[in-house]
Structure 1
Amino acid sequence: MVYRTARVALRVTVGQRRRLFGLLRSGGDVWAAVLLLNRWRRQRGDRPIVGYQELCRELAAAGEGTFGELSTVGARSVLRAYSDAWMSAARRRRAGDETARFPRRRRGLVPVRFYAGTFTVTGGRVRLPVARGRPPLWVRLARPLPYPAEQVRSVRLTCAGRRLCLEVTAEVPVAVYPAGAGPDPARVAGVDLGIIHPYAVLAPGGGEGPEAALLVSGRALRAEHRLHLAEAKARARAAARRAPARGQRGSRRWKQFRRRGRALEGRHRRRLGQARHEAAKAVVSWAVGQRIGTLAVGDPRGVLARDAGRRQNKAVRDWAVGDLLRALADKAAQAGIAVELVDERGTSSTCPACAAAWPSRGGGSLTAGTAGSPGTAIWSVPPTSPPAPPPSPVAAPVVDLSSAVRRR
């Protein structure tokens, strides 16, 4: 069994919208209360309260109903998120990561999670728990749940661009294949993440047949980025004269412009997210057909913090490597395929035959000192590529994501 998460938008009335945003603001109040409590303790020289059980005892002392309509279940989910964030930062600090920061910043809206047994799913509606004595809160889903109701383990109320939605987490079984048709753990395929094309996969040849390759085209994603950036710049230039000065309240027309900008930004993010998930789905489906049991993914996150100029920095920032890795690992786990991260350092300057470093020679080709093979300058990230290309390589199929970008 593996856990899968899907986001479902909500269709709510004006009153329901006000109550739901009230729950998110109450979650922010719980977060701010914990920050204030620990700040007072630091000023007195006491140890901060960061454990989940200790925080729950403090919440029980405050009593239910202290934070508006937020129930004890929702408040405890905020405490769990705070405790996990603090413990994660502490582990990174102990490991030597000086960039790790403890949660000390207030947040206006904090997502609230409700676990199985505390909410009710009936058809296309979900009943969320509220504080004792408050009227029940039913919300309508914009589409049916992607999982059976008995498999749902938690729902998380959140908002993206002022758009309310539920993140549904369900426990789904791992795919079962007929004998001899499932993924083979001994077959390993290399996956290269690219800025233009999200995934490039290469499966080595062997007893199962010749090598095979898959390229997921990202031209549609790149076009979406460019068009969205050009549109945002044009809209900003058109409204520059109407922009209020610092400290002044904007007009209704200016607020409408800002509201429209947030809506377009949310649509842009949804399009990209849908395209990334469809790209990962294409990779996993192809791997199942090739009986790939392990995907060795090159991890390029070590170069994300480098300053490569304004243009390249913008391309790297839009890359969303973490989203690509999460989408691939999520879908591969359900298909019974393991995902392993491979360090990319030095893989583009080593001989594929003997793994010896190629000396850099200005103006000439690279030649390995031990194997004597000419360098091909191929960005071969995982060390799973064959030593040399076959005489007649199989043409790599290309998956286009244009329909995914246009549809949402």
Structure 2
Amino acid sequence: MVHRTCRVGLRVTRGQRERCFGLLRSAGDVWACVLEVNHWRWRHQAPPVVSYQALCRELSTAGPGTFGDLDTTGARSVLRRYSDAWFTAAKRRKAGDLSARFPRKRRGLLPVRYYHGTFTLDGRRLRLPTAKGAAPLWLRLDRAVPYPVEQVRSVALLAEGGRLWVEVTAEVPVTVYPADAGPDPARVAGVDLGVIHPYAVAGADGHGLLVSARAVRAEHRMHLSDTRHRRRATAARAPKPGQRGSRRWRKTCRRARLVEGRHRRRVRQAQHEAAKTVIGWAVQRRVGTLTVGDPRGVLNLPAGRRHHLRLRQWQIGRAIAVLRDKAELAGITVHLVDERGTSSTCPTCRKKITKPAGRTMTCRHCNLTGHRDLFAAATIATRTPNHPGGNPTGGGTSTPAAVVLPQVLTHRRAGRHLPGAGLSRRDPRRPPPRHHAATPGDATVNTMGAATGVSWPAEARPTTVGSRSTAPVRRGTTTPPTR
């Protein structure tokens, strides 16, 4: 059994919205109270209160009604979060990581978690527990929960991007396959992580997979440009230091939060689509072990302001976590290994190769040419540690040292839901294309820049020459005849 979490939106009235945000603010008050208590104890040279049991005893002395509609269950979930964060930081500092910090930052809104037996889930209706004497809080979900009700173990109320969400955690059994159809632990595939190609996979049977995320990179670039233009346009409306903001400024801030939340949701969905593509490819070829190169060592290297922005937008930890989570549900084992030198070393002669300007790598010693991400994935597959395989004696099997280069390549794209990618609408943040002045013999040009009679959207940057549109046509689509 594994635990899976899905995020579901809420459809609430104004009163329900105020009550939900009241619960989140009360949870932030609980967090602030714990920080105040431990700070007071530190000033008086007393040991802090950090264990979950001790924090619950301190909460019981506060009495009912101290934190509004927040009941004991929701307050205890905040105490458990604080205790886990404190002991995690203490463990890291004991191991020598002095950069780990104990929780000390106040939070205005804090998620509230309710465990099994304290809430009621009836179809698309959810009842959250409230404090004694408060009216019951029934909420309506904007879609059905994808898990059976008997498998749901907890729900968490949170706010992101100015919207209210509920995270539903359920206990889901691992996928069961028919006989001789499930993943084989002896079949190993190497995975190379990257920015342009988040996943490059090379299997032991000569098959390879390339997942492109150029649409995600364009989403980051367009969002950054849109944010800069919005801040420049609204700079005059910003209140002075110590001055209270106007209603117009509050609306501007709310719009910025909504846009930021939408951007994060788009990128998160694209990451899940990419990881799902890799796991589906592995299940189809019965790959039971994925060896992933861990590139997080490059995060601490000084590489300039622009490259640091790319690394921050890359979100390596989330990419690894999403892939591992989906692999666990499919019954596939994931190993993290060092990927140093895999993208700059020839997989056959093992000699150093100068980094190419593009994606094609050529070895001057053995004349090997191919995609460098796939060559790196093939080299990573040879670094798989010993793992238990199908040996009946209980011994371990190791990956063969020979590198198997991909001969059959599959291309996939992540982020087809993004505006301007695939068959979706054109990205409204992209400036309209510029065209030459129309001549008397040209066709009529509409406000979108396309010739009359040509369907829109066709491409992100269509052009019009004469009476025929020169915008490239996608596969499976036809261009209507011009008039």
Return the TM-score normalized by structure 2: 0.77
Indicate whether 1:149 and 2:144 are aligned. no
| Contact 2:269/2:415 (8 A) holds in 1 | no
Which among 378, 381, 385 is matched to residue 384 of structure 1? Answer: 381
1:115-134 aligned at under 5 Å gives the runs 115-134=115-134
2:10 aligned residue: 10
Q: Deviations over 1:198-233 (max 9, x none)?
A: 21111122xxxxx11111110110111111112112
In structure 2, the CA distance between the partners of 1:79 and 1:254, relative to structure 1 (3 Å rule), is same
For the 8 Å contact 2:345–2:353, the answer to whether it is kept is no
SS in 2 for 1:176: coil
Distance 2:36 2:368 in 1: 59
Letter in 1 for 2:263: H
1:70-81 pair list within 5 angstroms: 70-81=70-81
Q: Who is 2:448 aligned against?
A: none
Query: How far apart, in 2, do the equivalents of 1:78 and 1:37 lie?
Result: 15
* Aligned residues of 1:31 and 1:79 also touching (Cα < 8 A): yes
CA–CA separation in structure 1 for the residues paired with 2:306 and 2:321: 26
Q: More displaced, 57-66 or 139-148?
A: 57-66
Q: Which amino acid aligns with 1:2?
A: V
1:216 aligns with 2:211: yes
Per the alignment, residue 292 of structure 2 pairs with 297
Asked whether the 8 Å contact 2:116–2:152 carries over to 1, the reply is yes
1:318 aligned counterpart, secondary structure: helix
Letter in 1 for 2:411: V
Residue of 378, 401, 405 corresponding to 2:414 = 401
Aligned partners of 1:188 and 1:292 also within 8 Å: yes
d(CA) in 1 for partners of 2:109, 2:248: 25
Residue by residue over 1:268-290, the C-alpha shift from the partner in whole angstroms, topping out at 9 and shown as x without a partner, is 11111111111111111110001
* Partner SS state of residue 397, structure 1: strand
CA contact (8 A) 1:7 1:166 kept: yes
Cα distance in 2 for residues equivalent to 1:358 and 1:70: 62
Q: Secondary structure at the match of 1:298?
A: strand
Question: Could you tell me whether the CA contact under 8 Å between 2:184 and 2:288 is conserved in 1?
Answer: yes
Find the aligned partners of 1:268 and 1:57 in 2 and give their Cα distance: 42
Contact 1:274 1:405 in 2 (8 A): no
Give how far 1:6 is off: 0.7
Alignment of 1:262-281 (within 5 A): 262-281=257-276
Q: State the shift of 1:15 in Å.
A: 0.7
1:396 aligns to what SS in structure 2? Answer: strand
Q: Secondary structure at the match of 2:98?
A: coil
Report the CA distance between 1:330 and its aligned residue. Answer: 1.4
CA distance in 2, matches of 1:66, 1:373: 74
Q: 1:104: Cα distance to partner?
A: 1.0
Contact conserved, 1:175 with 1:335, CA < 8 A, in 2? Answer: yes
**Counterpart Cα distance in 2 of 1:80 and 1:12:** 28
Q: Secondary structure at the match of 1:8?
A: strand
Q: Which amino acid aligns with 1:285?
A: G
How far did residue 247 of structure 1 move? Answer: 2.3
Using the aligned pairs only, state the percent identity.
59
Q: Using CA pairs under 8 Å that are at least 6 residues apart, name the structure with larger relative contact order, 1 or 2.
A: 1
Tell me how far 1:399 sits from its aligned partner: 1.3
TM-superposed CA distance for 1:31, in Å, is: 0.6
Question: Shift of the alpha carbon at 1:374?
Answer: 7.4
Corresponding residue for residue 312 of structure 1: 307
Following superposition, the deviation at residue 388 of structure 1 comes to: 5.1
8 A Cα contact 2:128 2:136, kept in partner:
yes
User: Is 1:278–1:404's contact at 8 Å kept on the other side of the alignment?
Assistant: no
Secondary structure of 1:307 counterpart: coil
Match of 2:186 in 1: 186
Quote the Cα distance in structure 2 between the aligned partners of 1:373 and 1:345.
21
Mean Cα deviation higher: 24-33 or 196-205: 196-205
Gaps of 5+ in 2: 356-361, 383-400, 426-483
Structure 1 unaligned runs (5+)?
206-210
Moved more, 35-44 or 394-403: 394-403
* Residue 347 of structure 1, CA deviation: 3.6
Offset at 1:238? 1.9
CA-CA distance at 1:307 after TM superposition: 2.6
CA contact (8 A) 1:38 1:48 kept: yes
Kindly state the Cα deviation for residue 115 of structure 1 after the two structures are TM-superposed: 0.3
Deviation, structure 1 residue 360: 8.8
Alignment equivalent of 1:331, drawn from 326, 344, 347: 326
RMSD value over aligned CA atoms? 2.4
- Give per-residue Cα distances to partners, 1:316-352, cap 9 Å, x unaligned: 1111112211211111111111111112234445564
More helix by share: 1
Q: TM-score, normalised by structure 1?
A: 0.90
